[in-house]
Amino acid sequence: MEDDSSGSDEVLEVGAFYQLLTAQLESAFGRRHPHWVRGEIAKVYEKGHVYVDLVDAGSASSDAKRPVLNAHCWATPWAPLKKKLAAEGVTLSAGLIVNLFGYVDVYAPQGRIGFTITQIDVQGLLGDVARRRAELIARLTAEGLLEANKKVTISPVPLRVGLVASPGTEGYSDFTGQLLHSGYGFHVILVKSAVQGEAAPAQIVAAIQTLDAHGVDIICVVRGGGSKGDLACFDDERVARAIAASSTPVFTGIGHTGDESIADLMAHTRAITPTKLGEEIAGIVRGWHDRHVRLPSQRVLDATTEILDEATEYVAERRRTMIFAVRDRLRAEQRHLVSTRAGLVTHSRHLLTSSARTLASHRALLSAYDPKRRLAQGWSIVTGRDGVVVTSLDDVTVGETVSVLVSDGSFESTVSEKTGVTP
């Protein structure tokens, strides 16, 4: 064998060669000399340990010669790392750009050089997740999908509620509890779905589509609080597009107060928690009930009371008026009669007095013509044999006996001569 200036003439067994190689690699890239490696996840597989194939970002998968780093993280360090990633809503998946920290190891039985992961740059991953989220929102906005479900008309009385949730969870109980205690007859049609984890997006999409086809008034997607990772399924593009495509209004009540998922952005109405969502739906029904049942009922009652009060007051007032009117009328008539009576008495008295005066005057006048008085003055009354008073010479004849009445008696006298009086 020829001498190579950088090589050695020593012939090594395979095992010895690997020992030498391992020692060399470890001295530069081993446990004591870890490195950061950046790349795109081409493939990820987890079974206790997690295995990641990392390639240069942007390299084509069809390129058979692209370098691949077979990285792995053993179960013990992976458990806390996974937890940390999940808390931030990150799931290692193909296409994700990731910075891995670790060291090279050599697995001689398969002749493979691997990379043992000890750390993952979570902050970097978060930035990437945020970027991808922003890109998705921008895409949905550009397609006009962000407002699509908001344009769907909501039933004025959404009593048929389609529910996408996981029964037994706190969010499910909080939401259904609000509907149950609202006093209204909500009919809840539940389509069970995982609300976290990798299977969740597909199940949520299927549930929304099932309920949309079923014909409910609204679809409620409900999930209680959790880590960002727990809620990551609600940032999934498939879920977002399912909401936009739904012909039924989709309401969301996902997570805690501060959480806002892409599903929330896509939804017709978003409540900050499942409890609030239940309150909001009950509030819609209550609002309708108030406007169309309670208020009209109140108005009918008020108007009825008002009409009856007015009618009662009217009849009572008319009764009083009639009593007083008749009394006044009778009193007026009575006063008129009393007045008339008094007038009559006065008039009668006056008439009597006047008559008495007239009578006295007549009496006095008559007394002046009293025959007795005349007889006493020397006048006499001559009557013929027929008793008729003689007032003319024609009433007697010569030789006729006449009776002469004087004041104290009468005597007979014979007419011896008639002598006329020259006027």
Structure tokens at 387: 């008793």
The nearest distance, CB 328 to other proteins, in angstroms, is 8
Structure tokens at 386: 């027929």
Three-state SS at 247: coil
Taking CB under 8 A as the binding criterion, the range among 129-137, 211-219, 291-299, 354-362 that sits at the site for other proteins is 291-299
Position 50: which residue type? V
User: Of residues 315, 356, 388, 393, which one binds other proteins by CB under 8 A?
Assistant: 315
CA–CA separation, 255 and 264 (whole Å) = 10
Footprint of other proteins on 328-387 (CB under 8 A): 328-330, 333
Footprint of other proteins on 294-313 (CB under 8 A): 294, 297-298, 300-301, 304, 308, 311-312
| Count, residues near other proteins per rule CB under 8 A | 24
Pairing of strands 97-107, 112-120: antiparallel
b/e map of 378-391 (b: 16 or more CB within 10 Å)?
A: eeeebebeeeeebe
CA–CA separation, 218 and 252 (whole Å) = 10
Question: Taking the C-alpha atoms of 9, 11, 16 and 19 in order, what is their torsion angle to the nearest 10 degrees?
Answer: 30
Check residue 321 for interaction with other proteins (CB under 8 A). yes
Binding mask 267-286 for other proteins (x = CB under 8 A): -------------------x
The nearest distance, CB 337 to other proteins, in angstroms, is 10
The nearest distance, CB 202 to other proteins, in angstroms, is 40
CA–CA separation, 38 and 117 (whole Å) = 12
User: Nearer to other proteins by C-beta: 28 or 323?
Assistant: 323
Token pair 């007697």 is found at 396
User: Of residues 45, 107, 314, 411, which one binds other proteins by CB under 8 A?
Assistant: 314
The nearest distance, CB 255 to other proteins, in angstroms, is 29
Token pair 């007889």 is found at 375
Q: What interhelical angle do 274-289 and 170-180 show, nearest 10?
A: 20
User: Nearer to other proteins by C-beta: 318 or 418?
Assistant: 318
Residues that bind other proteins (CB under 8 A): 183, 286, 293-294, 297-298, 300-301, 304, 308, 311-312, 314-315, 318-319, 321-322, 325-326, 328-330, 333
